[in-house]
Every structure is written in structure tokens, then in C-alpha cells.
């Protein structure tokens, strides 16, 4: 499906964020993951659990059941399942068919997130989780704060495209975080295994509105924006601004924030978006938690508006590609390559 080759939807063998760790409690939460229903909870010992969210009896959503100890009891006819997905009770009979079980998904608690692996459990390697120091999660003195969690009525790749082409800051976010140079200065790209790294350095620009509105500075800045796509599901970015040459505080950092955008395919036409930010300044974190609501709403509206166009108009045959699409196009190619490798290993896996 657009923008991938016909028949391809999402990478299965990869870690995706399914919840902020602080939000997962000893209670059932229903999610979708690559078009499959999933139920999540923490066991009494604190371990996160993810199981198929569909009762194998009559397909009632298990998230509407209840927890008894660490077992899920289906809310319809009372089948019970333990945290490994094994059926432990069928009311009114002692025989439990071998087919009565739930798929258990590999999960990991890593940083501020709960991660899930929708593909082959034997391939769920914790070493493939993004390195917390590399993404700026554990940078010296930085505090990481979950901000927002949204479910978008848009296929996940529309949000990935958005996050990998930050030229849109100059237009979609011109009233908050963007400056015209976001669209005219070409970024530098580097690639690694499951990684795309982009850096855009813009010297002597006006400070974007956010700097004036939250820090009271309305002069000229040197700035660098970066975004690292850790395929398939995390974009770790930063924005750093410095006072420019000639300023009495030249080279001093005026502002540095790290941002984390986790994008997870829910259904074919919906996705989850987990946004978090890190800064050394707790007051700035709280200001930005309010301030960025509008900016993030603009990205959500753009993604959902495109999804509506695709639904009403049909999927486009051909796009016009611009030079600064390089990063987004490479991001699509990286995911397509990963999906191709999965199909080669297990036909129809995509």
C-alpha cells in the first residue's frame, strides 16, 4: 500500500513503542499492532505483558475482560488465560483444547517506553533496541518527559514522511518552530544499519517564534536541527540554537532540546504517536509541554488530511519528488528493504 510496493504494509521484525512505561499499570489496555488486536498489562511483579487481544472463543476483545491476579478472564464467557497466553480455565469443562491459547508478544521496558516486537519471537533481539545514550535519552543532566500520546487516523508512513522531511517546519509550523531556512538549506545525511541520520545547520537565521515566546529572545541565531530514524519505529531528534558570531555571548548555547517521536502502525489506516522531550531545564519542559500541543496538532492534521485524500481520491500513481525529500525517500526505501528481506525469508509475511 502507498507509499510502499503493492502488498507491503509494515516491518514485522522490529521493535515498536506500544506505550509509555509510566502509563502501563496492573490493568488491561487494548491496542492494535500491525492490524492485530493486542492486550497489554503489567503483572503483579511489574513485568509488562502483551498478548493477542482476541479471545479465541468468540473473538470478544480481551481488553474488555478483567485481571484476576495475573490472569485475564474474558468478559464474555469467562475463559481465563495466564500471562504466557496459556488457557487455564474454561468454565463448565475440564478439557482445554490445545488450540485455546493466546499469542504472546516479546516486550521490553527500555527508557521511558514499553516496546513490542510483532514479528518472529526468535528474532526479538534486545540489542536492536535504540541505544539510550545515542538517542540523547541519557545525555548528561537531561530529563526525559513523556508529553503526548495520540492515535492518528492516518497510516503510519505519513507520519514517518513528516518527521523525515523537516522542510515542512518552514510552512506548517511557521508560527512556532519553523524559519524559512528549514526549506532552503539542504541537510546532510548519513546511513547505518537500520538508521538514517539527518543534520541541517542554518546560520544567522531569525530565531523562530518559539524562542521569542518562551525565552524572550528575538534576535539572530545559529541553529542545527537533527533527526535520527531508528527503523522501524523511533525518530530521535534535537534542536540546538547558539548566539551567532559577533554577539556578546557568541557560541553560547541559547537552547538545546531533544525530542523523541515514536510511530507505531496500528491498523492499515491508523497509527500511534508517542511524543517525548528532554531538556536540562524542568521549567522549559513544562512550558514546552503546553507550547508544542499546537505544533503537534498541525502534524496530526496534515497526516490525517492526506489519509482522507487517499481514501476519497484513491492512491496516487506518481508523486512529484523534490530534492529535500531525500531523507524521507531513503526512509521509505529502508523500510521497503526490511520488508523485502522478511518476505524473502517467509513469503506473505508482509
294 binds, among ligand FES, Fe ion, none (CB under 5 to 8 A by kind): none
CB of 329 to Fe ion, least distance (A): 18
58 binds, among Fe ion, ligand FES, none (CB under 5 to 8 A by kind): ligand FES
CB of 270 to Fe ion, least distance (A): 19
Tell me the C-alpha distance between 238 and 162, whole Å.
15
326 binds, among Fe ion, ligand FES, none (CB under 5 to 8 A by kind): none
Considering only residues 285 through 314, tell me which ones interact with ligand FES, judged by CB under 6 A: none
Tell me the C-alpha distance between 318 and 313, whole Å.
13
CB of 270 to ligand FES, least distance (A): 24
Among 145, 187, 228, 299, binds Fe ion (CB under 5 A): 299
76 binds, among ligand FES, Fe ion, none (CB under 5 to 8 A by kind): ligand FES
Residue number of the CB closest to Fe ion reads 299
- Tell how strand 36-42 and strand 29-33 pair up: antiparallel
Tell me the C-alpha distance between 161 and 196, whole Å.
13
Binding string, residues 43-82; x marks residues near ligand FES by CB under 6 A:
------------x-xx-x-------------x-xxxx---
Tell me the C-alpha distance between 277 and 290, whole Å.
12
Tell me the C-alpha distance between 116 and 262, whole Å.
12
Distances (CA, A) of 255 to 9, 162, 215, 221: 38, 23, 9, 10
Give Cα 212 to chain centroid, integer Å. Answer: 29
CB of 299 to Fe ion, least distance (A): 4
Identify which of residues 74 and 116 has a Cβ nearer to ligand FES in the complex. 74
Tell me the C-alpha distance between 76 and 62, whole Å.
9
Distances (CA, A) of 183 to 196, 224, 244, 246: 19, 13, 20, 26
Size of site (CB under 6 A) for ligand FES:
9
CB of 18 to Fe ion, least distance (A): 23
Name the site residues for Fe ion (rule: CB under 5 A). Answer: 299
Amino acid at each position: 500500500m502507498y507509499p510502499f510496493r503493492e502488498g507491503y504494509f509494515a516491518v514485522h521484525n522490529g521493535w515498536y513503542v506500544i506505550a509509555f512505561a509510566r502509563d502501563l499499570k496492573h490493568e488491561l489496555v487494548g491496542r492494535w499492532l500491525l492490524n492485530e488486536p493486542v492486550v497489554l498489562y503489567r503483572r503483579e511483579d511489574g513485568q509488562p505483558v502483551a498478548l493477542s487481544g482476541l479471545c479465541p472463543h468468540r473473538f470478544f476483545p480481551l481488553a474488555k475482560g478483567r485481571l484476576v491476579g495475573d490472569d485475564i478472564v474474558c468478559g464474555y464467557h469467562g475463559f481465563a488465560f495466564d500471562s504466557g497466553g496459556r488457557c487455564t480455565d474454561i468454565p463448565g469443562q475440564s478439557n482445554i483444547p490445545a488450540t485455546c491459547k493466546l499469542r504472546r508478544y516479546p516486550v521490553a521496558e527500555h527508557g521511558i517506553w514499553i516496546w513490542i516486537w510483532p514479528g518472529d519471537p526468535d528474532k526479538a533481539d534486545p540489542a536492536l533496541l535504540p541505544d539510550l545514550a545515542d538517542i540523547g535519552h541519557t545525555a548528561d543532566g537531561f530529563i526525559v518527559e513523556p508529553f503526548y500520546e495520540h492515535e492518528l487516523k492516518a497510516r503510519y508512513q505519513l507520519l514517518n514522511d513528516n518527521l523525515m522531511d523537516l522542510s515542512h517546519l518552514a510552512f506548517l509550523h511557521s508560527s512556532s518552530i519553523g524559519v524559512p531556512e528549514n526549506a532552503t538549506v539542504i541537510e546532510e545525511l548519513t546511513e547505518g544499519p537500520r538508521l538514517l541520520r539527518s543534520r541541517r545547520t542554518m546560520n544567522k537565521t531569525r530565531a523562530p517564534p518559539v524562542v521569542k515566546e518562551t525565552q524572550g529572545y528575538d534576535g539572530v541565531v545559529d541553529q542545527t536541527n537533527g533527526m535520527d530514524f531508528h527503523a522501524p519505529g523511533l525518530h530521535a531528534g534535537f534542536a540546538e540554537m547558539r548566539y551567532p558570531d559577533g554577539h556578546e555571548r557568541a557560541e553560547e548555547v541559547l537552547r538545546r532540546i531533544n525530542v523523541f517521536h515514536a510511530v507505531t502502525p496500528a491498523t492499515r489506516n491508523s497509527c500511534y504517536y508517542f511524543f517525548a522531550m528532554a531538556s536540562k531545564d524542568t521549567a522549559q519542559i513544562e512550558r514546552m509541554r503546553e507550547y508544542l500541543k499546537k505544533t503537534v496538532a498541525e502534524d496530526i492534521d496534515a497526516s490525517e488530511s492526506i489519509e482522507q485524500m487517499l481514501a476519497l481520491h484513491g492512491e496516487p500513481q506518481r508523486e512529484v519528488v523534490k530534492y529535500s525529500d531525500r531523507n524521507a525517500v531513503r526512509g521509505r526505501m529502508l523500510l521497503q528493504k526490511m520488508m523485502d528481506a522478511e518476505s524473502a525469508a517467509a513469503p506473505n509475511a508482509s
